[in-house]
Structure 1
Amino acid sequence: MADDLSPEFCAALREAFERAGYDADSVLRLLGESAHAALGRGEPEPARRASRDAGPLGTLVRLFLTADELPEREVRAALPWPSSVAAGLVRVDGDRVRAGLDVRPFGDHQGSWWVFADLDAELGGEVRADHVLGIGHASLSLARATIRRTVGTVLDLGTGSGVQALHASRHATRITATDVSARALALASATFRINELDVETRQGSWFDPVVGRRFDQVICNPPFVVGPSRIDYTYRDSGLAGDDASALVVGALPEYLTKGGIGQLLASWLHLPGQDWAERVSSWLPGGVDAWFVQRDVAEPDLYVGTWLKDAGIDPRSAAGSARASAWLDWFAENKVEGVGFGFVTIRRTDGEPRIVCEDLRHAFDDPLGLEAAGWLDRIDWLRAHSSPDALLGARLKVADSVVLEEVSGPDDEGWEAIVRRLHLTNGPGWQHEVDELVKSLLAGCRGVLPLADLLDLLAAAHGVPTDALIIAALPLVDELVRHGMLEPA
């Protein structure tokens, strides 16, 4: 397959796609918002109806996006022929043609790409051991959580179909993509060729292909699935037991970063009795790094196993599915696993005093987390420069424009009494902090005019409390509010 997805074939396929208008915006225009959304939910019929009699674009939509079987003459008119058959792009049965690979347009606000991948489980049943994922939820989540500042070099570790490298092409001068799977690199290389991108590809396990090198940014969607030590599918299984794969990447990644370089990855971690998950993941880190662990979900073992069986196209009700589920759940029980945490990790190599923060962020929000990750690092730098009490007390701070104060009141003898006061960041990840009347008064004075020390003096006098005690209580809270972007340097 790798030889058949040649530069010449990819160039001819790109020309055919451009001629048909097979790009992200044109597909959306053809289908309309409703049918496009239905397709994303796995409901193809509205897209079939919208793409009928739509010429070559409609043919490509029904071939690759709704996975229909089409007449050969119709497909011949839309694709380079017979090279599409030789490359495995399509499969011919008599005079009927089906997709052999998943090739779909994928875009961001700057334009559109095409991504080669294997057909997913819904179309082909149980996937092969070296199955290559396309544009999935995890890859999209990582892309949205990645910092997009201009850098010289990026490493896409475990590139799969090449999605992260595509995004990196917007902000990096040079990109290296690695994978342990030869099939993944073949499809990723085709992705890079058809999009006319110059990406270095290297095959090997973990960091072996880039030993001795350092990068400004490392992006990784590793095989982070938690369970016994086995490899059923290379896209999700590492051969390491439990959360050892995530621990390996977190622990080794800083060695491959330039000074100030940033690593970002998806990861999973075990929830065990008597152990805080934050202590567990923090123990994976070497020294000399800032790190931000964001827990987006925690799954119970039963749900976790069922979800990943279905992801591979295995019916949990079948004999094979039941056997696999039983062995997996036995492993969870033997290791006393109460749940599996999942989330994002941002790591930066630093010469300063490291900051390591682990936070739960399981509520829904819309803004890309990458913007918050970049802001978090900037705010950590500011806090490090103001790490002494005198420096922080001398700072002039203001409440961010996107912060609102929500109050919930209950009835009392004199009318209404506030029982909950909550700061709410209305953008980004929507942080929330419950505050008391003293904190409310302090923040009311944070307008960027007076130093924090003067505000605390005034607050202490107004409420009859010792200034020193107020300072001791206020500084950790101010640190947290700055870190969450709710207080800003004036």
Structure 2
Amino acid sequence: MTPDLSPDRIDRLRDAFLAARYDADGVVDLLGAEAHAALGRGEPVPALRASTDAGALGTLVRLFLLGTAEPTAAVADALRPLPLDEAHAAGLLRTDGDAVRAGLDVRPHGAGDESWWVVSDLDSELRGDGRPVDPDHVLGVGHASLSLVRATSRRPVGSLLDLGTGCGVQALHASTHAERITATDVSERALALAEATFRLNRVEVELVRGEWFEPVRGRRFDQVVCNPPFVVGPARTDFTYRDSGLAGDDASALVVRQLPSFLNEGGTGQLLASWLHRGGEDWEDRVSRWLPPGGVDAWFVQRDIADPELYVGTWLRDAGYDARSPEGQRKAAEWLDWFEANDVEGVGFGFVTLRRTDAARGEVVCEDLRHAFDDPLGPESDGWLRRVDWLRAHGSTEALLASRLVTAPTTVLEQVSSPSDEGWENVVHRLHRTDGPGWQHEVDDLGVRLLAGCRGAMPVGDLVELLALGCGEDVTELTAAAVPMLRELIRHGMVIPAEWISE
């Protein structure tokens, strides 16, 4: 049943939250950093202790964040001016004997200087009834949605499409850099909760219902973000938020294939995606085949690979299934049977950045970045596309050799030595980028010397000639080795054009 979250009810709920300081800063101030961090780890007791005898704010924290049953009078006071009967009618509350519990998940969500509220369905743990979530369950702010937030470019744009908005968290973040936002979803319930989220936060969003890109057919946007139902496996729709009804990784393939046609020239798209690792098939070849023909720059970043058993167990728990129950065992067996029948050895997960370009041939790069790093990929995707543009403009060897390059300040050199008859002998020269995804590249001794000279003082071609002369090397052979090395280092931001230093 779709909740009746009328504008008037949402406005009064907002007034109650503002009066109680039920926002990102207010919750942290009440709980303290340690209890707040414990709550994020799924440990509620410190937060329960900190919120005791804390008035209306404490009641709201326990009600919506801890899932406890609260006295009716205390909740009525905390939600004033929204009457209890109105809150029940809106689906915000449910009766539990003489007390009340939350009927929906409504929690503060902070980012930088922004503080929002996000309305979603309660997960199986907070609901406390031991049942799996409902088929039309609307997911809240989870790990996947936050990872997409961090992987999304925040450069200012005129128009943005949030495809499959769910509870609306991507559109909320988009409001910080997009002038106009359109959000779609196939689920009527998701759109109702997203509309409540936007009303609660005074964010203007155009909401349209429909499958995939159908609601915006014929339109184009400066940016598209998408957290699709990317779970791979048999073709089914047990849960709208994760199952597409398409088999395998066809949902991710569909979005990658169609998204560029909904972009303005130079527009970008960012999405989460999953892909199959099948016996005898390279994952890079697989995802590259999803791209439409023509001018599309694409950056596929693989952040994890899960074996089938781990993958199935994780998603069953996410939906609230007990893996030991008959139903849990049946679903796990069906899923694993499908993986075995389709020769699936693992499931890759990561981010895709796409850009519509007028270039005759787009740049397509697939990279495995499963190592740990903290920097968000959103700014890095902007940098990657900028570097692609520069490399495209300097596509010939002559153009590259005529440019002036600088070894980036964030690039450091690690040298590994082994003992020899004459002391220590360098056996490995490894470049590290200390920010972004933390790329590493091994170079030889001549590469180290060349990069030491990349200070923007003279063209690269002159540096190569001087190095060849000083080391007794053939300049043609040295150039042939240096050019592809420099292109790769530029692509990864470890060497940059000299003119960028002053920006």
Name the residue aligned to 1:243. 249
Letter in 2 for 1:54: A
Q: Secondary structure at the match of 2:258?
A: helix
Name the residue aligned to 2:163. 157
Name the residue aligned to 1:439. 447
Q: Distance in 2 between matches of 1:305 and 1:418?
A: 46
Name the residue aligned to 1:411. 419
1:259 to 239, 262, 265: 265
Letter in 2 for 1:300: D
1:285 paired with 2:291, answer yes
Q: Secondary structure at the match of 2:371?
A: coil
1:90 paired with 2:110, answer no
Q: Distance in 2 between matches of 1:21 and 1:330?
A: 51
Name the residue aligned to 2:391. 383
Q: Distance in 2 between matches of 1:118 and 1:3?
A: 11
Question: What are the equivalent positions in structure 2 for 1:114-129 lying under 5 Å apart?
Answer: 114-124=117-127, 125=130, 126-129=132-135
Q: Secondary structure at the match of 1:114?
A: strand
1:319 to 308, 314, 326: 326
Q: Secondary structure at the match of 1:384?
A: helix
CA drift at 1:3: 6.3
Q: Secondary structure at the match of 1:78?
A: helix
Q: Distance in 2 between matches of 1:30 and 1:408?
A: 50
Q: Distance in 1 between matches of 2:3 and 2:272?
A: 32
CA drift at 1:420: 2.0
1:479 to 467, 477, 487: 487
CA offset digits 1:289-318 (Å, max 9, x no partner): 000000000111011001100000001111
Q: Distance in 2 between matches of 1:473 and 1:175?
A: 47
Gaps of 5+ in 1: none
CA drift at 1:110: 2.3
Q: Distance in 1 between matches of 2:185 and 2:321?
A: 25
Letter in 1 for 2:302: Q
Letter in 2 for 1:382: W
Root-mean-square deviation (Å):
1.0
CA offset digits 1:334-359 (Å, max 9, x no partner): 00011110000000000013101000
Q: Secondary structure at the match of 1:429?
A: coil
Q: Secondary structure at the match of 2:354?
A: strand
Letter in 2 for 1:312: A
Q: Secondary structure at the match of 2:458?
A: strand
Q: Distance in 2 between matches of 1:66 and 1:415?
A: 63
CA offset digits 1:256-286 (Å, max 9, x no partner): 0000010110000111122111111011101
Name the residue aligned to 2:49. 49
1:270 paired with 2:266, answer no
CA drift at 1:419: 2.3
Question: What are the equivalent positions in structure 2 for 1:4-403 lying under 5 Å apart?
Answer: 4-79=4-79, 80-81=82-83, 82-124=85-127, 125=130, 126-286=132-292, 287-352=294-359, 353-403=361-411
Structure 2 CA distance for partners of 1:3 and 1:66, relative to 1, 3 Å: closer
CA offset digits 1:184-234 (Å, max 9, x no partner): 001000000111111000111000100000000000000000101111000
CA drift at 1:38: 0.7
CA offset digits 1:9-50 (Å, max 9, x no partner): 111000000000001011111111111111011111100011
Q: Secondary structure at the match of 1:449?
A: coil
Q: Count how many residue pairs are aligned between Structure 1 and Structure 2.
A: 490
Q: Distance in 1 between matches of 2:197 and 2:206?
A: 13
Q: Distance in 2 between matches of 1:445 and 1:351?
A: 35
TM-score (ref. length: structure 2): 0.96
Letter in 2 for 1:91: R
Gaps of 5+ in 2: 499-503
1:428 paired with 2:431, answer no
Q: Distance in 2 between matches of 1:2 and 1:193?
A: 17
Q: Distance in 2 between matches of 1:115 and 1:351?
A: 39
CA drift at 1:107: 1.0
Q: Distance in 1 between matches of 2:69 and 2:442?
A: 57
Runs of 4+ with >4 A deviation: none
Q: Distance in 2 between matches of 1:121 and 1:133?
A: 11
Q: Distance in 1 between matches of 2:419 and 2:34?
A: 46
- The 8 Å contact of residues 51 and 62 in structure 2, kept in 1 or not, is answered as yes
CA offset digits 1:40-82 (Å, max 9, x no partner): 1111110001111111111111001111111111111101222
Percent of pairs identical after alignment?
A: 67
CA drift at 1:4: 2.1
Q: Secondary structure at the match of 1:43?
A: coil
Q: Which moved more, 1:406-415 or 1:382-391?
A: 406-415
Q: Distance in 2 between matches of 1:472 and 1:226?
A: 43
Q: Distance in 1 between matches of 2:209 and 2:38?
A: 37
Letter in 1 for 2:36: H
- The 8 Å contact of residues 162 and 225 in structure 2, kept in 1 or not, is answered as yes
Q: Secondary structure at the match of 1:421?
A: strand
Q: Secondary structure at the match of 1:175?
A: strand
Q: Which moved more, 1:462-471 or 1:250-259?
A: 462-471
CA offset digits 1:152-204 (Å, max 9, x no partner): 10000000000000000011111000001111001000000111111000111
Q: Distance in 1 between matches of 2:444 and 2:347?
A: 34
Q: Which moved more, 1:412-421 or 1:109-118?
A: 412-421
1:467 to 460, 475, 480: 475
Q: Distance in 2 between matches of 1:49 and 1:308?
A: 32
Q: Which moved more, 1:177-186 or 1:91-100?
A: 91-100
Name the residue aligned to 2:501. none
Q: Distance in 2 between matches of 1:291 and 1:421?
A: 30
Q: Distance in 2 between matches of 1:2 and 1:328?
A: 30
Q: Secondary structure at the match of 1:363?
A: coil
